[in-house]
């Protein structure tokens, strides 16, 4: 059985950086995110608007919308009060996301979440209505670099990522108002299910970001979501680790 002794429960007392107060209900799940890459492209707002359901607005930074592809791997994935279990509590995940806002709470909208754990995929789809997909995934770290391979298996559209990335500089905490802050410091996600908007709030310490470099062999993740990436290099940030807790999902009126 895996230990959760290395989880940073001290984050529950670190709240000064939050853009709004913690929810007034108990948290229900832990996750630890490792070797995370934020790869971001500026995207036409109207293109994203056509893909994001009504009820949530596209969030903009200086008038610009963004799409992110975010590979990482996880540990400590477990409901509150339950132990970590081999295979169930640790696996890779790959997100395609954009940025939205509702009731002045900026958050994340996921076009897809690929995971190497079919059980987690089934549970997230059933419980949270999140667009999870099963994928064959492999993550290898060596010499300061992360080799990341993912190919979706549960959908007819090809969705694959083959890349290598690594941090290239020192650590910094994003400053409110900057693009880096806009793209990373988000404390909720939104789901639209049968015209009902739902919000799932999370909490973690401020992000510790590093500049990064990326070599891409294959990337069809945005295409599978219906978005064509512009022929420019993405904006890149790396984070070695982020521990988080999630709160129960709420339906908004």
For the stretch 64-89, pLDDT in tens is 999 999 999 999 999 998 878 777 88
Instruction: Find the helix or strand (DSSP H, E) in which 48 lies.
Output: helix 45-49
Please report, for the chain, the start and end positions of each structural domain, with discontinuous segments joined by +. 31-251
Class of domain 31-251: mainly beta
**How many residues would you count in the chain?**
253
Q: Residue 155 has what pLDDT? A: 72
DSSP three-state, residue 88: coil
CA distances (Å), 169 to each of 42, 126, 144, in order?
23, 40, 12
Half-sphere exposure of 193 (CA within 13 A, CB side): 15
Please tell me the predicted confidence (pLDDT) of residue 1: 37
* DSSP SS3 for 213: strand
pLDDT of residue 2: 44
Helix/strand/coil (H/E/C) assignment for every residue in 125-189: HHHHCCCEEEEEEEEEEECCEEEEEEEECCCCCCCEEEEEEEECCCCECCCCCCHHHHHHCCCEE
pLDDT score at 152: 97
**In which residue ranges of the chain is pLDDT below 70?**
1-5
| pLDDT value for 4 | 53
């Amino acid at each position: 059985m895996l230990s959760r002794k290395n989880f940073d429960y001290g984050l529950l007392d670190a709240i000064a950086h939050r853009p709004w107060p913690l929810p007034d209900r108990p948290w229900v799940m832990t996750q630890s995110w490792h070797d995370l890459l934020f790869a971001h492209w500026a995207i036409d707002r109207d293109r994203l608007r056509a893909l994001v359901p009504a009820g949530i607005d596209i969030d903009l930074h200086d008038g610009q919308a963004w799409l992110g592809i975010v590979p990482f791997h996880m540990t400590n994935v477990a409901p509150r009060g339950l132990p970590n279990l081999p295979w169930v509590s640790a696996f890779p995940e790959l997100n395609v996301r954009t940025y939205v806002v509702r009731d002045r709470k900026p958050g994340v909208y996921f076009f897809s979440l690929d995971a190497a754990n079919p059980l987690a995929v089934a549970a997230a789809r059933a419980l949270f209505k999140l667009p999870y997909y099963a994928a064959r995934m492999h993550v290898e770290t060596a010499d300061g670099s992360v080799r990341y391979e993912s190919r979706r298996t549960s959908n007819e559209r090809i969705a694959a990522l083959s890349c290598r990335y690594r941090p290239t500089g020192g650590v910094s905490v994003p400053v409110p108002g900057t693009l880096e802050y806009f793209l990373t410091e988000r404390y909720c996600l939104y789901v639209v299910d049968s015209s009902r908007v739902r919000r799932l709030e999370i909490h973690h310490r401020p992000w510790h970001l590093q500049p990064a470099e990326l070599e891409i062999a294959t990337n069809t993740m945005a295409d599978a979501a219906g978005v064509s990436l512009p022929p420019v290099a993405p904006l890149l940030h790396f984070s070695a680790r982020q521990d988080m807790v999630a709160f129960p999902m709420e339906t908004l009126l």
